[in-house]
């Protein structure tokens, strides 16, 4: 099996970018060890604080965020970093080449039950004309990502990553401490009989979502099964490897009218991985990767998976007109300040 660094070099990845990726993975390996220790390392339970999203922070949220932030702040080629757990971006090095955004611990509600959790990250080229401390460093589209990936902490620790060529899967070798290439090119199966959505929200769904899910459950020749991990990394990993569709759409609840998931930290990197694995991604009306980031913690509806399913869901977009909720296309018509 090939090691990570030789694979990146064969893909023509810049040596400075490789160093930034190595730093991210150094943090993920340390985090994987702490997670494996569970209660033995005092990482379970919640703090008394809330993050910028208004969510109660788990102890491991704070640990993970600090770990990634500290290691990336020591990397000379990093200009700025943005975290789902931070109010603002963190300037690192004015002359740095890259900006890094991350969700340090996706699925943190699963920590105390030993469920699936992970780290999601994305890397862009920095902008020399904008100060490193200005959030507009990240005012780019998903198509401008130069690397995206996630680390899934589970029975084995997996790295799923793309630098724009293919979505590749690496497994952490605990014997030698490095990531080894285990799936050279991950491809989303075209045929699917699984979907992933939080059915508890169905009363508040838009008509588009109601019609689509009802069709899956009642109007198909094949029987569809629902799967839901309450961690995007786990649900997306299942779709990438087994096919299907993942949905976290907008709905009529206050605060969810533009979706729940964050565009920068979750939707952008997962959409790139899905695209480079031959799948499809959408807001429900158009490509996630073509959306501009208009604010640092912007939310967006997410639908991604096997292309046929995403196309079918998107074809129902006109039904949203009867919901009384502003659609995402209207929100995205804004211009970047």
pLDDT at 44: 57
Digit-coded pLDDT (tens) for 214-255: 999 987 677 899 999 989 999 999 999 999 999 999 999 999
pLDDT at 334: 30
**CA distance readout (Å), 246 to 84, 226, 230, 282, 320:** 21, 10, 11, 11, 19
Digit-coded pLDDT (tens) for 133-146: 999 999 999 999 99
pLDDT at 48: 44
What would the two tokens of residue 258 be? 């533009």
For the chain, the residue count is 337
pLDDT at 319: 84
pLDDT along the chain (337 residues), means of 10: 96 98 96 80 54 63 93 97 96 98 91 88 97 98 98 95 98 94 96 92 96 88 87 96 96 94 98 98 96 97 96 89 47 33
**CA distance readout (Å), 49 to 39, 53, 179, 231:** 20, 11, 34, 21
Say if CB 124 and CB 17 are below 8 A apart.
Answer: no
CA distance 264 to 121: 9
Instruction: Supply the pTM of this predicted model.
Output: 0.90
DSSP secondary structure letters along 236-290:
HHHHHHH--EEEE--BSSTT-BTBSSBIIIIIHHHHHHHHHTT-EEESSSS-STT
- The residues, ordered by sequence, that sit 6+ positions from 36 with a Cβ below 8 Å of its Cβ are 153
Strand partners, 256: none
Say if CB 97 and CB 311 are below 8 A apart.
Answer: no
Per DSSP, 331 falls in state H
CA distance 157 to 304: 23
Phi/psi of residue 260, nearest 5 degrees: -110, -40
pLDDT at 168: 98
| Angle, in degrees to the nearest 10, between helices 268-276 and 232-242 | 10
CA distance 85 to 64: 10
pLDDT at 192: 81
| Angle, in degrees to the nearest 10, between helices 59-73 and 15-37 | 150
């Amino acid at each position: 099996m090939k090691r990570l660094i030789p694979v990146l070099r064969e893909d023509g990845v810049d040596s400075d970018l490789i160093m930034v990726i190595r730093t991210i993975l150094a943090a993920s390996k340390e985090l994987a060890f702490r997670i494996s220790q569970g209660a033995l390392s005092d990482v379970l339970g919640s703090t008394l604080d809330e993050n910028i999203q208004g969510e109660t922070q788990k102890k491991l949220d704070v640990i993970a965020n600090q770990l990634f932030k500290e290691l990336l702040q020591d990397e000379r080629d990093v200009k700025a970093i943005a975290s789902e757990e931070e109010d603002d971006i963190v300037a690192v090095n004015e002359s740095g080449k890259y900006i890094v955004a991350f969700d340090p611990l996706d699925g943190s509600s699963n920590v105390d039950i030993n469920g699936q959790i992970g780290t999601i990250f994305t890397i862009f080229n920095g902008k020399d004309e904008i100060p490193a401390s200005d959030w507009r460093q990240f005012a780019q589209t998903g198509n401008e990502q130069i690397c995206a990936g996630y680390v899934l902490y589970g029975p084995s620790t997996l790295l799923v990553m793309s630098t724009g060529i293919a979505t590749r899967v690496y497994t952490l070798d605990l014997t030698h401490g490095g990531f080894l290439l285990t799936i050279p090119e991950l491809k989303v199966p075209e045929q699917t009989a699984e979907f992933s959505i939080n059915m508890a929200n169905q009363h508040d769904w838009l008509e588009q979502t109601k019609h689509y899910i009802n069709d899956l459950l009642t109007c198909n020749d094949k029987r569809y099964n629902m799967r839901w991990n309450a961690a995007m990394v786990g649900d997306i990993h299942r779709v990438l490897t087994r096919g299907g569709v993942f949905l976290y759409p907008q709905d009529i609840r206050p605060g969810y009218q533009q979706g729940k998931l964050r565009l920068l930290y979750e939707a952008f990197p997962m959409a790139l991985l899905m695209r480079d694995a031959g799948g499809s991604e959408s807001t429900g009306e158009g490509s996630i990767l073509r959306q501009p980031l208009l604010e640092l913690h912007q939310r967006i509806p997410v639908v991604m998976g096997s292309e046929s399913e995403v196309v079918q869901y998107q074809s129902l977009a006109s039904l949203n007109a009867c919901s009384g909720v502003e659609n995402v296309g209207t929100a995205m018509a804004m211009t970047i300040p």
